Structure 1
Amino acid sequence: MPIIYYILISLLFIFTALPKIPSQHWIFRVPDFGKIQVTYISLFTFIFGFFIKDSVDYFWYFQGFLLALFVYHGIILIKYTPLYPVKKHKRNSHSSKKIHFISANVYQFNKEFDRFIDLINRNKPEMFLTMESDSHWEKALQVLEKDYPYHHKVTLENTYGMHFYSKIKIEDSKTHYFVADDIPSIEAHMKTDDGFEFVFFGVHPPPPSPTEEETSKERDGDLLSTGKRVIEIEKPVIVVGDFNNVAWSKSSILFRKTSELIDPRIGRAFVSTFHAKYRLFRFPIDLMFHSEDVFIEELKTLENFGSDHLPVYCEFFIDHKNDEQEERIETADSEEKQEAEEMIQEGKKEDGERDAVVTES
């Protein structure tokens, strides 16, 4: 039993220390995804230690270390729970109507099209975004085009296709390829029936992992390029998608600061989405950020429809006259802006090895 205790302590130390190393290799970036699990396991190991204390050398040193780990991770994570105080806001006469959207990584090889279509029909969002949607998904989703007459489609077979459908008028839209010609982002300029304008961004950068990208350079460069574009826009902005990143990572925080957007998970919940089938090993990598005049009323996951990601459901409104969220905006200093620019250039130089057509392994 002491061996298990020592192994757990060693793994917890490794998973805590690796993200602190300033390298973009996946070995150092992936452990950040498991911060929630590391926190729980730290507490479990701490409690477990009392049952075997008589057979553990330097027991109180190890217990002190575990307690320090739990407190360290807990201080970071508590921001993404209802325990962290964030003021709630209500709609008033100056606000837009409530707007709803669904963001879903559908998993390109998931052929349960009807389950997703049923999810859309039951929840009736004004907009929805799909990621990893290929030509098969595009064909299947045509049945929804009567209800969603506005759309922007980027059909790819490399697991990076994106489709955006809307009941709200799309006045203008474009596809960005910020760091690679096979990794799209969607920018859609919207106008509601009650006269409110906003910009919707859909993003899906590649993940750092042993099976995909060796480093996080393209992911970070793509996200920070989006942030650079966002800061140029004077309308309300929402950025949504499978970020393949967690909100507390260095690059996510840098994105939030350089874009001057707000993370709605703060004071609300983790909203973990991946992997849909494994609750204990689920990470919050489908993220969302918004400008100060966008107010989130609800943010949650919906039921699984056959994908490896749970869909994200959001309800929000726009209010130009309410400036109470200004205090939640963090801005980047000159050093952080320089670092972001360097990461963008590194992302553009990185040559990701992706096939034009990907088949399920």
Structure 2
Amino acid sequence: MISIAYLSLVCIAAALFVVATALPLAPSHAWWVRAWDFPRVQLLILGVIVLFSAIFLAPVWKWAIVVPVLAGCIYQAIRILPYTPLMPTEMTLLDRDDSGSQVVILASNVEEPNDRYDDVAQQIREVDPDILFLMETDQTWYDQLEKGVTAYPNVVTELRNNYYGLIFATRLKVHAAHVTYLTPDDTPTLFAELETDAGNRFRFIGLHPRPPVPGNSTDDRDAQIIFSARFAREQDMPVIAVGDFNDAAWSDTSRRFKHVGGYVDPRVGRGMIASFDAKSRLLRAPIDQFYATPDIGVVEFRRGPAVGSDHFPMISRIELDPEKVRGANKAPSEMPQDELDELDRIVGEYRKTLDPDHLPDFK
């Protein structure tokens, strides 16, 4: 006979699972709603445990629990499925070569209080990236990494002690590179227009919006993600967007970012390659993103070793030669023209509310 304690425990777990699964469906930017976009894998595991636990309950309780929990498990599995090897890839890995059209990128949220400066410096030396994008950097971080950073001919910094500083450094030819503020919440975004040694021009976006935590809704985060996608697509030029989005790859905002920018994702069909939390195996999700337009190929995309931060560094190698990239990526679905026009209108109105001195000057 099943005890009251066992029944109560299963009911509480089932209620938690159902509520946590349903909350992100609400059109709300409240942090306590959007935070449930992250642990979909963990919730799916909880749901499966509840299903097995419900087998031992009396029929009246069993079916009252199994039906909603099973529905929730199916929904969570559908959201996660693209980020597993069970689905076809969006980006075919290309061969590595040294013709000058490939670019190595190291993007790392170093976590401001982290003091393992030597580990980060060593990783920069080992990866030797053409583009270095560091987040959560303050003056101390810059001072500790100055030797490695200033070895690059082009450096842009926005050093802060509020967890939203950044360092951008590159050895590529720079046509434009500056910090931009896309939202009133005072979190910087890096926009750059670069050129490879082989003469291939492309745009780079480095993002690090605020996370959904107490005191932060996701209004500004979502706006920053979406508007950066549209601003960068004002010309027909390859675009890559990387950084700590503070948003899981399977969230509605990330999926809309892909749709708006016409991006593809190397995680699709390969695995979630979870980047956060590097300090906990139980609470990991893919929130450090890599998105590229289909005219950019991917040669390598991987997670680097831990360097003391709560984020793993993300390392990628991309191909910009259009002949080599042709046919390598799945073409994303196009936005209907009326939806695109409406989005352009909204972006145009929103842009008027921002400081023009800090906006991208791409034409």
- Which TM-score band applies after superposition, normalised by the shorter structure? 0.7 to 0.9
Which residue matches 1:20?
25
Distance 1:290 1:42, change over 3 A: same
Which residue matches 2:50?
45
Equivalents in 1 of 2:219, 2:291: separation in Å?
A: 21
The AA in structure 1 aligned to 2:115 is K
Matching of residues 234-245 of structure 1 within 5 Å? 234-245=236-247
Equivalents in 2 of 1:279, 1:248: separation in Å?
A: 19
Which residue matches 1:310?
312
Unpaired runs of at least 5, structure 2:
1-5, 355-363
Equivalents in 2 of 1:47, 1:34: separation in Å?
A: 20
SS in 1 for 2:243: strand
Equivalents in 2 of 1:4, 1:267: separation in Å?
A: 36
Structure 2 counterpart of 1:159, from 160, 163, 176:
163
Distance 1:324 1:98, change over 3 A: same
1:265-314 C-alpha deviation (Å, 9 max, x unpaired): 21122121222111111121111110111112322222211111111111
Which residue matches 2:70?
67
Residues 224 and 344 of structure 1 are in contact (CA less than 8 Å); yes or no, is this contact kept in structure 2?
no
Structure 1 counterpart of 2:138, from 118, 134, 137:
134
Distance 1:209 1:349, change over 3 A: farther
SS in 1 for 2:178: strand
Distance 1:150 1:343, change over 3 A: closer
Equivalents in 2 of 1:122, 1:94: separation in Å?
A: 17
Distance 1:309 1:140, change over 3 A: same
Structure 2 counterpart of 1:329, from 315, 332, 337:
332
SS in 2 for 1:58: helix
Q: How far did 1:326 drift?
A: 6.4
Q: How far did 1:345 drift?
A: 6.7
Q: How far did 1:92 drift?
A: 9.0
Residues 175 and 184 of structure 1 are in contact (CA less than 8 Å); yes or no, is this contact kept in structure 2?
yes
Paired residues, number: 346
Structure 2 counterpart of 1:113, from 96, 108, 117:
117
Q: How far did 1:140 drift?
A: 1.3
Which residue matches 1:99?
103
Structure 1 counterpart of 2:213, from 206, 209, 212:
209
Equivalents in 2 of 1:256, 1:26: separation in Å?
A: 22
Structure 2 residue 231 is the aligned partner of structure 1 residue 229:
yes
Equivalents in 1 of 2:280, 2:100: separation in Å?
A: 38
The AA in structure 1 aligned to 2:235 is I
Q: How far did 1:331 drift?
A: 3.0
SS in 1 for 2:122: helix
Residues 201 and 238 of structure 1 are in contact (CA less than 8 Å); yes or no, is this contact kept in structure 2?
yes
The AA in structure 2 aligned to 1:219 is R
Residues 103 and 129 of structure 1 are in contact (CA less than 8 Å); yes or no, is this contact kept in structure 2?
yes
Which residue matches 2:86?
83
The AA in structure 2 aligned to 1:32 is D
- Higher mean Cα deviation, 84-93 or 32-41? 84-93
Which residue matches 2:357?
none
The AA in structure 2 aligned to 1:38 is L
Which residue matches 1:355?
none
Equivalents in 1 of 2:159, 2:108: separation in Å?
A: 15
Which residue matches 1:177?
181
Equivalents in 2 of 1:146, 1:176: separation in Å?
A: 22
The AA in structure 1 aligned to 2:186 is D
Which residue matches 1:200?
204
